[in-house]
Amino acid sequence: MINELVERLSKEDHELTIGHGNESNEDIKERIKNGFIHLKFINTKGGTELGINVDLQKTKLDEFDSALKEGIFHIEGTTNLNYTQTRCIADINLSTKKGKGRLIILD
């Protein structure tokens, strides 16, 4: 049985943020390059912060710098939420560190 939160986050796009607090874009880029970043779905009770194992083939790190100027950066990766393996897909405005994303249930 799929957890209600996992199901809700997989039904449609939700608002989210990338990184921790005032983390710089350079720090965020380095975390992505190292294969792990935090994304936080902000419209859940208290927010839902997930550690994402970045899929570097689907996340084009070479587009990060141009996205800083143009605004939107696409990122994908996997995570486990409430015992359910998921893929997170998000598009983030790097100037605001906010965007939209969803989970795809893999189990």
- pLDDT per residue as tens digits for the range 50-69: 999 999 999 988 888 877 77
pLDDT band at 71 (very low <50, low <70, confident <90, very high): confident
The domain ranges of the chain are 4-105
31 neighbors 20 (Cβ within 8 angstroms) = no
Residue 37 pLDDT greater than 80, yes or no: yes
Cβ atoms of residues 41 and 50 within 8 Å: yes
pLDDT tens digits, 91-105? 999 889 999 999 999
CATH class name, domain 4-105 = mainly beta
The pTM assigned to this predicted structure is 0.91
Residue 79 pLDDT class (50, 70, 90 cuts)? very high
